[in-house]
Amino acid sequence: MADCKLNDYRYNAMVDQYIKDDSPVVFGNFTASHASHIITRFLESAQMSVAVLSGSFADAFYDGLAIEILLEQTARRLSANNGQIRIITASGASSNRLIELCNRINTALQRKENPVIQYIPARYTGTNPLKHFMVVDAKRYRLEEPHSLNGTQIPEYVKAEVCCNGRKKASELLESFEAIWTAIAPSSATQVQTANV
């Protein structure tokens, strides 16, 4: 157990240094603990944009991040820079918690008409595995290996490719995100849309 904590400490210190240096090094994410640290630090570093494509809004995982506070702080910073947070979940289930959080943040920031944080619940109907990813400021990305869309439990291993300054790959992921967002953008964000992109 002590080795795990020490390894997590070293891993987290490496991630923090890569973010500070805006490093183009591509590295791995192997555990839920790694994912938690990367997502937290990526959100804390965001200045202009956050795009997330995920299977579901896994409460068990996000509770450990204090996600409400983290998203609110990120939204305030991005709002001051005319930035935006956009989230798509593709499991076919809508997260009432995330809808309420977006409404609360947008109301507090007086951004109901021009929201700083938006969420679209969707149902992916394609046949190829859907890759889950996060892109921050069009340069930082975390790309998970394909896995189940439903995330009710925290998996022991969460494999992903991560880079703190990988503009080419981040751009490719953003193109995918934009195509899906455009295809499913609803008139009401509370409806589950169908995505076959």
User: CA 126 → CA 58, 89, 196, distances in Å?
Assistant: 21, 14, 5
**What are the pLDDT digits (tens) for 54-83?**
988 766 666 666 788 899 999 999 999 999
Q: Which tokens belong to 147?
A: 């896995």
Span of 21-30, 62-71, 119-128, 165-174 with lowest mean pLDDT: 62-71
Confidence of residue 2 (pLDDT cuts 50, 70, 90): very low
Residue type, 124: Y
Range of the domain at 23: 2-195
Q: 180: buried, middle or exposed (CB in 10 Å: 19+, 13-18, 0-12)?
A: buried
What is the Cα–Cα distance from 110 to 104, expressed in whole angstroms?
A: 10
Confidence of residue 4 (pLDDT cuts 50, 70, 90): very low
Quote the number of domains for the chain: 1
Q: Which of 185, 141, 192 is nearest to 167 (CA)?
A: 141
Instruction: Write out the E strands in 96-138.
Output: 117-124, 133-136
Here the CATH number for the domain that contains residue 20 is 3.30.870.10
